[in-house]
Amino acid sequence: MNDDLHRIFFKGGVTSPGELKDSIAMLEAAGLTEVYFGSRQDLLFPLIGKDAEAMEHLSSFKTDIVAERGYQNIVCSYVSADIFEMTYWLKGSTYLYILEQFDYRPKLKINITDPKQRLVPIFSGNLNFIASENEDYWYLHIDLPSWEKAEFYPVLIYSWDIVQISKTIEAIYGDAETMESLFYMVNQKISTNNKNMDKKLEIPYLTFPYYEGMNRMGLDKYWLGLYWRNNRYDLKFLKDFCGFCLDNSIGKICITPWKSFIVKGIKQKSRPELERFLGQWGINVRHSQLEMNWHLPVDDAAALDLKKFLVRSFDQNDISTYGLTFGISNDVGKRSHFASVIIEKNLPPAIVKDFAVRPSFNVLHFQNFDPNTNSYVPYAQDVDKIELPGLLMELSKKYFKQLGRERQKAKESTNKKEEVTQVYQCGSCMTIYDASMGDERNGIHAGTPFKRLPEDYCCAVCGASKEGFTKEMLQLLA
């Protein structure tokens, strides 16, 4: 991240249209015209020569402008609630209640996530609270700056203890060298409603979701995801968009760690007005996932140019990257990324620091291409930029080959028989219509063949028409 950038923290990336509009007015008063979204679901912007404290007095929401790098925004997967798969007991309101309890500004990175989603990273924090199958209880994965390796807290954490446990650990972790000593010290300081851990955390492998465009949410609502290629969000557009949300009783705007934002609960009657609004601003949606599944440093022109070069190569060679994510990093050896494949830019050797030299890159990927394994695999070192497209294409093919092998191993280990069934798949968002399951959201009963669906049938996720579905063969486990 550019160290000259200041930040506005929205806990968990969740804000109201009124609060965001207020922050935008504050930034416009400072002469700014655009803002960046950060990896920890915050707002970033330059404020060189401006008086941050004077600007804060303009806010009706007691907004703080954070310049010190030591403070961290809280990350959470509220943005995924109700639109992607969820742990059965975890509701959007649960996140909001927990976030509301935070009465201090953390210096440790805190993540509060659902393991059944992939939009928000699970293990990129120092304190990672991960929902368990026990209602209102969370695993706690701890990766402290002073520790050589990360470990799980020995008990499950009660939802309403998350804040006091976080605050206590932040106050004492410098004196704790092991998990045992940390656990003892926490229990000496506070009384909590812990629960015994009856099984280890198991995180299922899920492909990275498509998070842009207008998508169905229940029977009569939609959610909208918007993404800018260069992560430069126009303040005038954002302010007018907040106005639309306020006029249409939309309560929350959610920033994602992928430099985009999502709005949930758009009423069906509001959709025509929203589409006119986006059209008037020339907002393009439904970008290719080839370019949306990237994580780049903020305000880094060289990284953006490299991404454009690589995406163009993928597109020209018809390479699929569905389910994969890519990250570009200037921090060689950093191990807190959350993309499947990492491209590290090496620093030039000290001996030639005063000369212009072509940069070299390292390519790494997570074990099984799953960031949740927390295990990096080096693939290539000190390669030239021109070699990167070929290497990444090889990795893409390796990913799909491995994906098949992993599934085959799972089948063999469970001794289950494989069945093949005919389904229909949406060409826009890849949602599957299985006649044996029907489509509960659209009121289609199980056992209804695709041919008997009404002519005005549309995809339950993105709203694409019936004509946009194609026949596919799906392998199932009996």
Task: Write the burial class of residue 478 (CB in 10 Å: 0-12 exposed, 13-18 middle, 19+ buried).
Answer: exposed
Q: Is the per-residue pLDDT at 335 higher than 90?
A: no
Q: What is the pLDDT of residues 396-417, one digit of tens each?
A: 999 988 876 655 554 554 444 4
Q: Is the per-residue pLDDT at 478 higher than 70?
A: no
pLDDT band at 418 (very low <50, low <70, confident <90, very high): very low
Q: Is the per-residue pLDDT at 197 higher than 80?
A: yes
pLDDT attached to residue 354:
65
In the chain, the domains with their CATH numbers are 1-122+203-287 (3.90.480.10), 291-411 (3.30.413), 418-477 (2.20.28.10)
pLDDT attached to residue 415:
47
Query: Whole-angstrom Cα distance, residue 43 to residue 73?
Result: 10
pLDDT band at 439 (very low <50, low <70, confident <90, very high): confident
pLDDT: which is higher, 214 or 56? 214
pLDDT: which is higher, 383 or 286? 383
pLDDT attached to residue 416:
47
pTM of the model: 0.82
Q: Which of 55-59, 189-193, 329-333, 376-380 has the lowest mean pLDDT?
A: 55-59
Mean pLDDT of the chain: 88
